């Protein structure tokens, strides 16, 4: 056996314990039920992996297969109820969930529908309303025609948009959730810092991505669903597509972003690297974006709004000669998803609360097709923003 692939790094030994206590899940459920009461919901029906996992603690990479739907019903009172395919029953029985209904899936004629009908028939009906994942930044993980059919077989209830309620619940993280996010942020921070020792001039973007992907896994990241590596002379034209086969050349700015996970929680932040010597214009733009990040962090405190965060960063970018950018916002929530509400942008209007975890992500195009974007992850405390990432250096790391 090779030792390289299994050696423990410092980050791995510092890792918080996996999973959460039954008390954590009971607390999440109780908080959900208070918000459901305000929203006049008799139940929440969830199908998407992050929501399923949030209430159950259950994880499966098998969600990659769209064949079988999975359901958790959170009633207004009492414990969550699982309605799941047989294939996962042995493992779901190991979570805190005690009320589990299963069926032999796939069964196209009735993939959970009649079980859900029976579950809803057994719930008290106060408001006649069930909240489902119908709204912004959510997608229903079941066929839409199956959802329509479900509506028709559940008497006495209307399905309404439960996403505002679900986002209200999930966007304020518990201390245990914050420990998880901090861990993956620190692990990725260390990997970014070490990267110049793993890569060199003349490598392709794809080779850089592979080296970083392997190093993140070695350090203890469970998965790396998001790892664009994008390079260009003095900056990049876009930040979401890549890596490609372009080779790193002197004068390039290399942009790398990663959403890696630890036990179901994401980091989401980027770093930029100078490939050899870069232009003074690129350096000045980098300084502007670095200062905009400082301004964003300073503006982040309970009671501030996402509009205010955007404005604080944009003022610095404008003063630095920003031509704009195509990202459309300067940060967002994160947690069990790479991106979650709210968005740092005009008109979002979210008031920040302690426990929210956010990206601070200003970017500017300083010349046509040359963009530089920074990103840090913070948790909001009573005193303001606390960094979860290890702050990017004021001068770019250099690759030769």
Site for its own copies, residues 7 to 26, rule: CB under 8 A: 18
Pick the stretch among 26-34, 203-211, 276-284, 315-323 that binds its own copies (CB under 8 A): 203-211
Stretch (H or E) spanning 364? strand 363-367
- 397 is a site residue for its own copies (CB under 8 A): no
Residues of span 288-327 touching its own copies by CB under 8 A: 326-327
Question: Cα torsion at 136, 137, 142, 143 (round to 10°)?
Answer: 60
Q: What is the DSSP string of 9-76?
A: PHHHHTPPPSS--HHHHHHHHHHHHHHHHHTT-SEEEE-SHHHHHHHH----GGGG--SS--EEEEES
Q: How many CB atoms lie within 10 A of CB 241?
A: 10
Residues of span 321-340 touching its own copies by CB under 8 A: 326-329, 332, 337-339
- 390 is a site residue for its own copies (CB under 8 A): no
Nearer to its own copies, 53 or 286 (CB): 53
Instruction: Tell me the closest approach of the beta carbon of residue 111 to its own copies, in angstroms.
Output: 9
Residues of span 117-146 touching its own copies by CB under 8 A: 132-145
Instruction: Tell me the closest approach of the beta carbon of residue 94 to its own copies, in angstroms.
Output: 9
- 349 is a site residue for its own copies (CB under 8 A): no
- 60 is a site residue for its own copies (CB under 8 A): yes
Nearer to its own copies, 245 or 280 (CB): 245
Q: How many CB atoms lie within 10 A of CB 368?
A: 9
Nearer to its own copies, 133 or 186 (CB): 133
Instruction: Tell me the closest approach of the beta carbon of residue 180 to its own copies, in angstroms.
Output: 16
Phi, psi of 25 (to 5 degrees): -70, -35
Residues of span 222-281 touching its own copies by CB under 8 A: 223-228, 237-241, 245, 259
Find the binder of its own copies among 130, 185, 187, 211 (CB under 8 A): 211
Closest by CA position to 203, among listed 2, 6, 399: 399
Closest by CA position to 134, among listed 168, 171, 160: 160
What single-letter DSSP state applies at residue 246?
P
CB 321 within 8 A of CB 288: yes
- 85 is a site residue for its own copies (CB under 8 A): yes
Nearer to its own copies, 59 or 386 (CB): 59
Find the binder of its own copies among 13, 108, 175, 383 (CB under 8 A): 108
Nearer to its own copies, 35 or 89 (CB): 89
Calpha distance 384→311 (Å, rounded): 17
């Amino acid at each position: 056996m090779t030792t390289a692939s299994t050696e423990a790094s410092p980050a791995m030994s510092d890792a918080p314990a996996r999973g959460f206590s039954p008390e954590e899940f009971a607390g999440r459920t109780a908080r959900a039920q208070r918000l459901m009461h305000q929203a006049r919901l008799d139940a929440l029906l969830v199908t998407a992996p992050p929501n399923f996992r949030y209430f159950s603690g259950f994880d499966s990479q098998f969600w990659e297969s769209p064949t079988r739907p999975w359901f958790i019903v959170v009633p207004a009172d009492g414990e969550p109820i699982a309605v799941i395919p047989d294939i996962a029953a042995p493992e779901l029985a190991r979570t805190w969930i005690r009320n589990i209904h299963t069926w032999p899936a796939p069964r196209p004629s009735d993939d959970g529908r009649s079980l859900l009908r029976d579950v809803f028939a057994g719930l008290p009906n106060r408001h006649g309303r069930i909240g489902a994942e119908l709204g912004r930044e959510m997608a229903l993980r079941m066929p839409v025609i199956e959802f329509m059919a479900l509506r028709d077989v559940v008497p006495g209830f209307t399905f309404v948009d439960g996403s505002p309620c679900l986002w209200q619940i999930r966007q304020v993280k518990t201390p245990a959730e914050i420990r998880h996010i901090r861990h993956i942020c620190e692990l990725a921070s260390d990997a970014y810092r070490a990267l110049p020792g793993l890569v060199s001039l003349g490598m392709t973007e794809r080779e850089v991505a592979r080296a970083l992907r392997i190093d993140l896994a070695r350090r203890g990241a469970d998965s790396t669903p998001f790892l664009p590596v994008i390079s260009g002379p003095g900056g990049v034209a876009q930040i979401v597509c890549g890596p490609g086969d372009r080779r790193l050349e002197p004068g390039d700015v290399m942009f790398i972003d990663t959403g890696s996970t630890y036990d179901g929680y994401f980091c989401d932040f980027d770093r930029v690297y100078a490939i050899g010597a870069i232009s003074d214009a690129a350096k000045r733009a980098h300084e502007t974006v670095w200062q905009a990040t400082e301004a964003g962090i300073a503006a982040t405190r309970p009671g501030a709004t996402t509009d205010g965060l955007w404005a604080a960063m944009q003022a610095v970018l404008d003063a630095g000669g920003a031509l704009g950018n195509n990202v459309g916002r300067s940060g967002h929530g994160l947690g069990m998803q790479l991106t979650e509400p709210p968005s740092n942008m005009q008109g979002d209007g979210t008031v920040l609360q302690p426990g929210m975890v956010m990206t601070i992500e200003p970017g500017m195009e300083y010349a046509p097709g040359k963009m530089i974007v920074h990103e840090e992850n913070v948790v909001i405390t009573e005193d303001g923003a606390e960094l979860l990432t290890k702050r990017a250096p004021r001068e770019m790391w250099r690759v030769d």
